Amino acid sequence: AQKITQTQPGMFVQEKEAVTLDCTYDTSDQSYGLFWYKQPSSGEMIFLIYQGSYDEQNATEGRYSLNFQKARKSANLVISASQLGDSAMYFCAMRGGGTSYGKLTFGQGTILTVHP
Amino acid sequence: NAGVTQTPKFQVLKTGQSMTLQCAQDMNHEYMSWYRQDPGMGLRLIHYSVGAGITDQGEVPNGYNVSRSTTEDFPLRLLSAAPSQTSVYFCASSYLPMDGGSNTGELFFGEGSRLTVL
């Protein structure tokens, strides 16, 4: 079974600064994938970034990067140059390999507030 | 290309009533799933399907039924609604991920359905 832990219920950041959202995971699978999703106040789920367990380099997508530390089982999301529109709930999620198919396990989420 | 479409977006039920949340996707995804979102608990998997005619239970299946007669549609049925089923429900779909392949298994979500059971 997979487990995702997000220990920061809420985070605050000043506009244009960088922020790190923490995510740790637990799995016995050798092959797995890690995801980050954004949920603005309007409620939709927006895919941000993906990291495969065998990927040697940290994933990056524009202002988003994933700080993947496999030995520590952490997959923190780094948002550079925060914008007011980044204020939202952020979910870390993972899928296992093999017969886990597309099942994603989600963390509890972190609410990010960007101050002007 | 509509993606994943859920209906209705809002619904109020009385305890004991039944209803069906509809979900349709037009991306030819093999995998479809239903999640519920409750405050402080993230998203929890209710049921999922890896293809037409194949369904299985997720983490919180009690009180819900699903079927998958076509690739496109995956309705979620509440047979006898209870206040504990008050939640926001998301339908999601994806291609099945392949280990070592380029398909990540990213989930595409519908807009969500807010259900209140009185």
Q: Which of A8, A99, A103 has the most B C-beta neighbours within 10 Å, making it the best mutation to test the interface with B?
A: A103
Residue-wise pLDDT for A17-73, tens only, equals 999 999 999 998 888 899 999 999 999 999 999 999 988 899 999 999 999 999 999
Q: Which residue of A has its CA nearest to B33?
A: A103
Average pLDDT for residues B90-107, to the nearest whole number?
77
pLDDT at B99 over 60: no
Average pLDDT, chain B: 92
Alpha helices (H) in chain A, listed in sequence order? none
More confident residue, B82 or A95: B82
Q: Are A74 and A67 in contact (CB under 8 A)?
A: yes
How many residues are there in chain A? 116
Please give the structure tokens belonging to residue B37. 């979102």
| pLDDT of B67 | 96
User: Would an 8 Å CB–CB cutoff place A7 in contact with chain B?
Assistant: no
User: Would an 8 Å CB–CB cutoff place B61 in contact with chain A?
Assistant: no
Residue-wise pLDDT for B43-69, tens only, equals 999 999 999 999 999 999 999 999 999
User: Would an 8 Å CB–CB cutoff place B2 in contact with chain A?
Assistant: no
| pLDDT of B100 | 54
Chain A residues touching B111 at Cβ < 8 A: 43-44
What are residue A115's DSSP bridge partners? A14
**In Å, how far is B113's CA from the nearest CA of chain A?**
10
Percent share of chain B, pLDDT over 90? 81
Ranges A27-36, A74-83, B84-93: which has the least confidence: A27-36
Average pLDDT for residues B3-24, to the nearest whole number?
97
pLDDT at B1 over 70: no
Please name which of B65, B53, B69 lies closest in space to residue B19, comparing C-alpha atoms.
Answer: B65
pLDDT at A100 over 90: no
Q: Which of A32, A101, A108 has the most B C-beta neighbours within 10 Å, making it the best mutation to test the interface with B?
A: A101
Q: Using the beta-carbon criterion (under 8 Å), do B97 and A104 form an inter-chain contact?
A: no
pLDDT at B105 over 80: no
User: Would an 8 Å CB–CB cutoff place A91 in contact with chain B?
Assistant: yes
Please name which of B51, B52, B49, B50 lies closest in space to residue B65, comparing C-alpha atoms.
Answer: B49
How far is residue A10's CA from residue A15's CA, in Å, rounded to a whole number?
Answer: 16
Q: What is the DSSP letter of A12?
A: E
| pLDDT of A101 | 64
pLDDT at B103 over 80: no
User: Would an 8 Å CB–CB cutoff place A55 in contact with chain B?
Assistant: no
| pLDDT of A99 | 62
Average pLDDT for residues B5-29, to the nearest whole number?
96
Average pLDDT, chain A: 93
